[in-house]
A and B are shown apart, each in its own frame.
Chain A
Amino acid sequence: MPSKRMYNCTWRNKPRRRAAGKRYVKFLFLLPGLAGVSIFVLIPFADVVKRSFYTALSGEFVGLKNYMSVMQNTAFRLAVSNTVRFASICMPILLAAGLILAVIINQHGKWERFKFLYLLPMAMPAATVVLVWKMLFIKQGFVNSWLGSHIDFMGEDSAFYILVGSYVWKNLGYTLILWLAGLKAIPEDMMEAARVDGAGKTAIFFRIVLPNLKGSAFTITILSFLNSFKVFREAYLVSGSYPQEKIYLLQHVFHNWYTNLDFDKMAAGAVLTALVLGSVSILLQKLWDNAD
């Protein structure tokens, strides 16, 4: 049998050694990240779960009492209902607006350069946005001067819609880009074939375009969901810890518990929220996988 040294071919000599090394190398890529995530997120969260069963001050075991008190807490319930209401209103608006804009822009190739106008709002810091809001919406602000009124818009139910508008304004840019990319990926032959078969524009849109956009739709949904939580920043900067009723969000509750050192409620609340968001996320992922 020829000695190994005679052959320079690597595929004969290396695989065995490399296979063994490869098994460990792949973990080397993952390990630092995983270690950090465990240390800074997972392990402490396990601690929080444990804490949710004890009181903050005296440290005695109280079982599910914290959970009961959180779920019966009116502030918490208000915050949950507002947050859910916000997400369920702002996300469809953003997705629809983005899609409509993307379809229009897609039909006119040269208009694509304008998409950057829509990306600009993403770069603005919350405090800057708030400065402009104040100029627009305070009693003596611009909107009032157009309407001839003196309403403090951030102190009324309209505050909710200002938040929705601000969310769409900030996020329309990348939503537009993702939809455009999805539209471009639809194979042209499919569209041609449909047209040759006599399908009208509406039929083409609903039967071919939309189903092909499922992948993009799920990515955009996840990102939009993620960003819907960020409106807390503007809300907090404008109205502080106890804003108008309709924009009192989940983060406000947590923030107030934190400043009041109500760690036991915070722990129970965090576990509940994580459970709900975790389930939503798993659900979305299952739907996503089924759509692929």
Chain B
Amino acid sequence: MNRVYKMTGRRFSEKCKSSVLLIIVVGTGILFCLPVLVLLAGSLADEVEWTQRMEAVIRNNSGYIIWKWIPDYPTGEHYRRLLFYTPQFLALFWNSIKIVSCILIGQLLIAVPSAWAFAVYEFRGKRKLFSLYIILMLLPFQVTMLSKYLVLSDFNLLDTHLAVILPAVFSTFPVFLIYRSFADIPRELLEAARIDGAGEVRLFMQVGIPLSGNGILAAMVLGFLEYWNMMEEPMAFLKDKSLWPLSLYLPEISVEQAGFASAASMLALIVSLFIFAIFKDTLASGIISSGIKG
């Protein structure tokens, strides 16, 4: 704690100021989380109630959406309908799981060694190559969309899940994130291990990876959030809707079916929240280890 800012004697006005700031910080935080609560509340109201609430929208008149935090007749009907009577939902859910797990595993196999190479070894053109990796990372999808489309088309991968998985596996973003964690490992440690007779691969597996576990995990969690919600790639490369991930199913539900849409969103969100809750501390320290000191 910065001692410079610690007051030696707390006066009433200081405490007041402190309390006001606390309210602002926590209040804004809760405000930020409101949309999730809105969805949760909305998903528990049945269709009849939603029709009532959305009357102004349906009739397109000059009323407003009526909102109640606690539904008059709470119901799980949307969730039931989604989980048991909407096979597309489950199919797309599993599509998402499949796509994301394949991507993450692929990234682990490809990006982690690449980051290690950049962090630990010297070779000609290393700076330039890393610079190129950063540029590639910054390009929005639409810039490389055409080139990816052409290559995928040549390999006949369009309309298969590989069309989405393969380009993502070779993304340079995780290389950037994980590089920092590896670069923080002290050289002396590596040298000592080498002198003790460790081969390069052993060094990587038994020294590098354990020490950077946090950074790697954080990159994976960030990757999960990114690919669980990805939209542009499947939209561009998958014409067959049965191959779509969950993230593309949600927009298909119209706003008049707000209850149903809310439930579907909650279910999609729950997975993210789950991963989030498990890994939140790792995520925080991992973000730090990949970002600090520039």
Query: Footprint of B on A, CB under 8 Å?
Result: 10-11, 14, 18, 21-22, 25-30, 32-34, 36-37, 39-41, 43-45, 47-48, 51, 101, 104-109, 111, 114-132, 134-135, 138-142, 144-145, 150, 169, 172, 174, 177-178, 181-182, 185, 188, 191-192, 194-195, 201, 204, 214-216, 218-220, 222-223, 225-226, 229, 232-233, 237, 250-251, 254-255, 258, 263, 266-267, 270, 273-274, 277-278, 280-282, 285, 288, 291-292
Contact = CB atoms under 8 A, between A and B. Distances in A.
B146 interface: yes
Contacts, number: 290
B278 interface: no
B268 A111 contact: no
Given A30-B117, A127-B251, A255-B142, A288 B294 contact: yes
Interface stretch (B22-30, B68-76, B82-90): B22-30
A225 B138 contact: yes
Given A117-B30, A188-B2, A30 B25 contact: no
Given A40-B151, A119-B280, A277 B39 contact: no
Contacts of B291: 178, 181, 216, 219-220, 223
A11 B197 CA distance: 7
B199 interface: yes
B139 A273 contact: yes
A43 B167 CA distance: 13
B226 to A, nearest CB: 9
B251 A25 contact: no
A33 B50 CA distance: 50
Given A120-B36, A132-B39, A270-B146, 12 more contacts: A10-B196, A27-B123, A33-B113, A119-B284, A120-B273, A123-B269, A125-B272, A140-B65, A191-B2, A222-B138, A250-B142, A270-B144
A117 B268 contact: no
A254 B143 contact: yes
By size class, the interface of chain B is: 35 or more
B169 interface: yes
B25 A114 contact: yes
Given A30-B114, A117-B29, A285 B272 contact: no
B137 A226 contact: yes
Contacts of B136: 37, 41
A101 B195 CA distance: 47
B64 A47 contact: no
B104 to A, nearest CB: 15
Contacts of A33: 110-111, 113-114, 170, 175
B228 A145 contact: no
Contacts of A144: 64
11 contacts: A25-B199, A29-B204, A47-B150, A101-B25, A114-B25, A119-B283, A127-B251, A177-B288, A181-B288, A191-B2, A277-B143
A48 B199 contact: no
Contacts of B145: 254, 258, 266, 270
A134 B4 contact: no
Given A11-B195, A34-B114, A132-B35, A274 B247 contact: no
Interface in B131-155: 131, 133-151
A169 B268 CA distance: 20
A114 B29 contact: yes
Contacts of A280: 138
B166 interface: yes
B266 to A, nearest CB: 8
B170 A177 contact: no
Interface in B188-241: 195-197, 199-201, 204, 225, 228-229, 231-232, 236
A119 B117 CA distance: 31
Contacts of B148: 40-41, 44
Contacts of B121: 26, 29
Contact of A291 (B63, B140, B294): B294
B244 to A, nearest CB: 12
A14 B197 contact: yes
B3 A233 contact: no
A102 to B, nearest CB: 11
A142 to B, nearest CB: 7
A29 B113 contact: yes
B245 to A, nearest CB: 10
